């Protein structure tokens, strides 16, 4: 019997969506392994027991509530190490994001455990969990099996689907003995990334940027055009991973699915994983300097050329037409 321990990140009394996905996935995997999926949360005076018990709806059996600084890695590492030591969990699972990377790496060092990051799928083989991670620019899949007693699995953002299964979890307050260095870092402030509040699903016009923009600053061209059209800006996974644009704006298999009236793709190759998130758009316009780019195969209008020359001219023309 193998059990899974999931770390749930929260902010302002709300559990993070990627953590809910990790709980759903942890519960599925634990079920196949004949064990159970438990959850640990650290800090959160604003987290009620009702919110924590409701994690049972995603498959959690027990939720450990730890009093400590929230949003920092060391208190969570202390809490998870203590729980693994006491209860013998076989897998520690995270929904992804920078904090998950930091906690996972710290826990791996602390417990001498194997760790896999950017995991997009978990399978069960021979009674053990096996993690799949895309590598080499997502062109290949690497398979991770664990030799250590504990396997640490850190998901890619949005890789694990949130699934509601019904049920209520038992909530238990857990006293943790924190390491001497744990209190040395304090949380000064927490905030959202630029654009984290953008609502791309409801936008009628989307201007999406890809690696062809060349740098984060290139998104200004998309923002200007989107503003002139009264639309919003979106992005590919490649640029989101590069830190050029917030995850909230990612379109595709592991991002959001959209169907605006107009989808303008600038510097986007048109990979299948991107296509599945935007192919329902009413009109697709693509700007790409490569005439053989796959995106032209499913565009209504294709413009072959340099986006740096085309986007500003387009913005200017639209503004002139609107008289603004
Ligand atoms: C499991 C899995 C899940 C994935 N999920 C997603 C997902 O949800 N969303 C997603 O988008 N991707 C996803 N991917 C990644 C996907 O496979 C592609 O790697 C990604 O979409 C490519 O992004 P891109 O088009 O920005 O970059 P690239 O493929 O590098 O394309 C850049 C394009 O810009 C063009 N270009 C360069 N310079 C200029 C210029 N000056 N003017 C005009 N054009 C120019 C190039 O010709 C090229 O076609 C996933 C992959 C895997 C394996």
CATH number at residue 41: 3.40.50.620
**What local confidence, expressed as pLDDT, does residue 46 receive?**
86
The verdict on 245 and 180 lying in the same domain is no
- Residue 140 pairs in a beta bridge with 135
The verdict on 144 and 235 lying in the same domain is no
250 domain residue, yes or no: yes
260 domain residue, yes or no: yes
137 torsion bin: left (phi>0), alpha (psi -120 to 50), beta (else): left
Give the number of the atom of ligand 1 that is nearest the alpha carbon of residue 252. Answer: 8
Give the number of the atom of ligand 1 that is nearest the alpha carbon of residue 238. Answer: 23
The verdict on 245 and 113 lying in the same domain is no
**What local confidence, expressed as pLDDT, does residue 70 receive?**
85
Residue found under tokens 């978990």: 122
Q: Which helix (H) or strand (E) holds 266?
A: strand 262-266
Pocket test residue of 155, 244, 273 for ligand 1, highest count of atoms within 8 A of CB: 273
198 domain residue, yes or no: no
**Domain range enclosing 116:** 4-184
Reading the block at residue 169, the tokens are 């979890």
Report the separation in Å between the CA atom of 235 and the middle of ligand 1, taken as the mean of its atom positions.
9
The verdict on 178 and 231 lying in the same domain is no
Tell the residue nearest (CA) to atom 30 of ligand 1: 211
Report the separation in Å between the CA atom of 258 and the middle of ligand 1, taken as the mean of its atom positions.
17
Domain CATH for 259: 3.40.50.1220
Residue found under tokens 């060349």: 214
Confidence of residue 96 (pLDDT cuts 50, 70, 90): confident
CA distance 76 to 68: 8
| pLDDT above 70: residue 108 | yes
The verdict on 66 and 120 lying in the same domain is yes
What would the pLDDT profile of 149-178 be if each residue is shown by its tens digit?
Answer: 999 999 988 789 999 999 999 999 999 999
Query: Of the candidates 151, 184, 217, which is a domain's last residue?
Result: 184
For the chain, the domain total comes to 2
CA 212-117-13 angle, to 5 degrees, is: 95
Regarding beta strands 10-11 and 14-15, do their DSSP bridges make them parallel or antiparallel, or are they unpaired? antiparallel
Tell the residue nearest (CA) to atom 53 of ligand 1: 138
142 domain residue, yes or no: yes
Least confident of 111-115, 275-279, 304-308: 275-279
CA distance 39 to 317: 54
pTM above 0.85, yes or no: no
Give the number of the atom of ligand 1 that is nearest the alpha carbon of residue 209. Answer: 26
Report the separation in Å between the CA atom of 308 and the middle of ligand 1, taken as the mean of its atom positions.
17
Query: Of the candidates 184, 214, 237, which is a domain's last residue?
Result: 184
Report the separation in Å between the CA atom of 236 and the middle of ligand 1, taken as the mean of its atom positions.
6
199 domain residue, yes or no: no
Give the number of the atom of ligand 1 that is nearest the alpha carbon of residue 270. Answer: 25
């Amino acid at each position: 019997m193998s059990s899974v321990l999931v770390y749930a990140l929260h902010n302002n009394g709300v559990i993070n969506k990627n953590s809910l996905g990790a709980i759903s996935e942890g519960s599925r995997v634990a079920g196949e392994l004949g064990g159970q999926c438990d959850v640990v949360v650290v800090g959160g005076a604003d987290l009620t027991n009702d919110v924590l018990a409701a994690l049972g709806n995603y498959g959690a059996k027990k939720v450990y509530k730890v009093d400590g600084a929230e949003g920092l890695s060391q208190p969570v590492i202390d809490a998870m190490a203590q729980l693994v030591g006491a209860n013998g969990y076989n897998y520690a699972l995270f929904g992804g994001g920078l904090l998950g990377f930091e906690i996972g790496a710290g826990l791996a060092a602390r417990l001498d455990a194997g760790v896999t990051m950017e995991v997009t799928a978990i399978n069960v083989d021979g009674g053990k969990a096996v993690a799949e991670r895309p590598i080499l620019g997502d062109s290949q899949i690497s398979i991770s099996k664990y030799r250590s007693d504990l396997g640490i699995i850190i998901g890619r953002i949005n890789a694990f689907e949130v699934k509601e299964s019904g049920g209520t979890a038992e909530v238990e307050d857990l006293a943790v003995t924190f390491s001497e260095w744990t209190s040395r870092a304090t949380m000064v402030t927490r905030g959202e990334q630029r654009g984290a509040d953008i609502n791309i699903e409801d936008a009628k016009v989307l201007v999406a940027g890809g690696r062809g923009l060349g740098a984060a600053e290139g998104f200004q061209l998309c923002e200007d055009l989107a503003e002139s059209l009264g639309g919003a800006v979106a992005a590919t996974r490649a640029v989101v991973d590069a830190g050029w644009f917030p995850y909230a704006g990612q379109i595709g298999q592991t991002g959001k699915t959209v169907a605006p009236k107009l989808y303008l793709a600038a510097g986007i190759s048109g990979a299948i994983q991107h296509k599945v998130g935007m192919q329902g758009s009413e009109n697709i316009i693509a700007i790409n300097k490569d005439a053989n780019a796959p995106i032209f195969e499913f565009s209504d209008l294709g413009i072959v050329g340099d986006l740096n020359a085309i986007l500003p001219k387009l913005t200017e023309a639209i503004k002139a037409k609107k008289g603004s």
